[in-house]
């Protein structure tokens, strides 16, 4: 009874990992196991990358609505070639030698109405060495392009922005759900392993109790107080207890390797668990509150809602194909030019160009284009109806999902309440069984009862302890399961962010 399970577990793992002389040793609690799993889980890492993708897509979509500025330059470009000239007298060839330089500033401002405003300014200079001339041009242009059907039909800018926002929200929800699922899986594995560890403790205590009973039986047999068959039965029971203990240790080793793989630890690491079966918190859950939280927070419901919103965008887009399409185009432009001898300096050419810019009248353009669908034999109307039917399917799926979640959560809350009551009752059973075994052992020592009565009481104690451990683990896992299915921590009465 004086030996500690921690010592046995350490010896056990040192035998398994004897080849890893430099393996690390970990003494883990549930919270520490969960944190290790979060940092090393492949699923979590993959979902983190999905979140980064969605986040950057959202940034790109919002940046699309901001002003885009670009500049284009043609640095001095010299060209020398031969051109063909055809006239009534025949075909002649002449050489062309030019030096060109250009620069353009381009500003583009997308509009939330699907339109675009553009401003461009450019300067170019061309030296013609055949005629010894320099041509300089400066132009400024402001343009507007606006699809008018975006006001009554489909707006692609707003729709695309909404899509990426919904995808970003979905990726966040998926990451949080994966974290809660991982917490539940780690908790389940942790408590399962801890149950085996506690089972080893029970097996050890049972072995020690049988050893003690065997020593008493042996002494009584040697004193002629009991028959040989009773002493032999105690010896058989002791051998069986030793075998059960050895099998418990072997199962613990196997489960430990599975646990290390789940949380992402090296298989040659030595792991022992901090005992967390000494106490528990009483959690009383209102079923209506739990259902409301689950329907508000569950990714399945929000995913259905996102599908409905995306499908509505699809319906609006399909409807717009059957509506009149109109577009407004407008522009204003000023151009200044000069054509001087190549001997003139570039500043003089630029000055003449700017003077010409002020003297030359502006250029304007306003245009309206219109496309009116006449007949398509009902094709677009059929596609719209098909899209609306898919939308009705989405609504039905959402309603069915809500009902399924409500049933699931209510059953879970009821199971949690029942398990809590059972756990409280089993605590009393363990206390009674321990006191009863102590009394029975004393009576056996005094010779008031036989070996069979002692074995029966010992079995009752072992059963009470095992059932209590099972109920404790079930209760803890039900709390974890309720947390992941409602996105709410009822243990600490706080929402999961």
Segment 438-455, tens digit of pLDDT: 888 788 777 777 667 777
Across the chain, which has 497 residues, the per-10-residue mean pLDDT values are 40 41 72 85 80 86 87 86 75 80 93 92 88 90 92 86 87 82 85 80 76 76 69 75 81 84 82 72 90 89 90 90 91 92 84 88 93 89 94 94 94 94 90 87 76 76 84 88 89 82
Q: Are residues 51 and 82 in the same domain?
A: no
- Rounded to 5 degrees, φ, ψ at 38 are -60, -35
For 202-214, how does the pLDDT look when each residue is reduced to its tens digit (9 = 90+)?
A: 778 777 877 877 7
Number of domains in the chain: 2
Kindly state whether residue 457 falls inside one of the protein's structural domains.
yes
In angstroms, rounded to a whole number, what is the distance separating the alpha carbons of residues 44 and 37?
Answer: 9
In angstroms, rounded to a whole number, what is the distance separating the alpha carbons of residues 51 and 48?
Answer: 5
Q: Is 427 exposed, middle or buried (0-12, 13-18, 19+ CB in 10 A)?
A: middle
Of 166, 171, 152, the closest CA to residue 310 belongs to 166
Q: Are residues 49 and 70 in the same domain?
A: no
Residue 337, pLDDT score: 92
Residue 120, pLDDT score: 95
Q: Are residues 359 and 301 in the same domain?
A: no
For residue 338, what are the domain limits? Answer: 66-111+114-150+324-372
**The CATH number of the domain where 225 resides is what?**
1.20.1600.10
Kindly state whether residue 12 falls inside one of the protein's structural domains.
yes
Q: Are residues 415 and 458 in the same domain?
A: yes
Of 373, 333, 328, the closest CA to residue 119 belongs to 333
Q: Are residues 408 and 451 in the same domain?
A: yes
Kindly state whether residue 385 falls inside one of the protein's structural domains.
no
Q: Are residues 23 and 45 in the same domain?
A: yes
Q: Are residues 250 and 396 in the same domain?
A: yes
CA atoms in the 13 A half-sphere facing the CB of 251 = 16
Q: Are residues 300 and 401 in the same domain?
A: yes
């Amino acid at each position: 009874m004086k030996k500690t399970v921690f010592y046995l577990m350490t010896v056990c793992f040192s035998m398994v990992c004897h080849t890893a002389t430099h393996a690390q040793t970990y003494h883990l609690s549930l919270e520490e196991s969960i944190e290790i799993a979060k940092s090393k889980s492949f699923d979590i890492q993959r979902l983190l990358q999905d979140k980064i993708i969605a986040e950057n897509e959202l940034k790109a979509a919002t940046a699309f609505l901001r002003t885009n500025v670009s500049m284009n330059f043609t640095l001095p470009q010299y060209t020398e070639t031969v051109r063909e000239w055809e006239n009534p007298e025949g075909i002649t060839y002449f050489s062309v030698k030019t030096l060109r330089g250009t620069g353009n500033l381009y500003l583009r401002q997308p509009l939330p109405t699907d339109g675009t405003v553009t401003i461009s300014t450019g300067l170019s200079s061309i030296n013609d060495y055949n005629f010894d001339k320099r041509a300089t041009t400066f132009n400024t242009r402001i343009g507007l392009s606006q699809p008018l059907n975006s006001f009554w039909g489909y707006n692609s800018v707003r729709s695309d922005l909404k899509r990426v926002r919904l995808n970003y929200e979905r990726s966040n929800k998926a990451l949080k759900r994966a974290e809660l699922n991982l917490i539940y899986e780690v908790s389940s594995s942790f408590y399962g392993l801890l149950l085996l560890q506690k089972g080893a403790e029970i097996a050890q205590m049972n072995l020690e109790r049988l050893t003690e009973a065997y020593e008493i039986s042996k002494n009584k047999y040697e004193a002629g107080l009991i028959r040989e068959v009773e002493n032999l039965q105690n010896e058989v029971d002791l051998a069986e207890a030793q075998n059960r203990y050895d099998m418990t240790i072997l199962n613990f080793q196997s489960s430990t390797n599975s646990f290390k793989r789940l949380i992402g630890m090296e298989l040659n690491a030595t792991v022992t668990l901090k005992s967390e079966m000494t106490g528990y918190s009483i959690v009383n859950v209102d079923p209506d509150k739990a259902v409301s939280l689950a329907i508000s927070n569950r990714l399945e419901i929000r995913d259905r809602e996102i599908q409905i919103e995306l499908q509505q965008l699809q319906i609006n887009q399909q409807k717009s194909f059957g509506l009149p399409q109109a577009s407004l185009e407008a522009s204003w432009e000023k151009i200044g030019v000069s054509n001087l001898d190549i001997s003139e300096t570039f500043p003089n050419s630029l000055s003449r160009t700017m003077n010409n810019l002020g003297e030359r009248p502006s250029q304007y353009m306003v245009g309206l284009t219109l496309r009116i669908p006449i007949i398509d034999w009902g094709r677009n109307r059929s596609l719209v109806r098909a899209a609306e039917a898919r939308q009705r399917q989405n609504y039905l799926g959402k309603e069915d999902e809500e009902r399924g979640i409500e049933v699931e959560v209510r059953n879970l809350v009821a199971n949690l309440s029942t398990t809590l009551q059972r756990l409280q009752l089993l605590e009393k059973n363990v206390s009674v069984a321990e006191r009863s075994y102590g009394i029975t052992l004393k009576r056996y020592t005094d010779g008031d009862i036989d070996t069979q009565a002692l074995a029966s009481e010992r079995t009752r104690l072992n059963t009470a302890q095992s059932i209590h451990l099972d109920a404790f683990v079930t209760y803890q896992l039900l709390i974890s399961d309720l947390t992941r299915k409602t996105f709410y921590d009822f243990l600490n009465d706080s929402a999961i962010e």
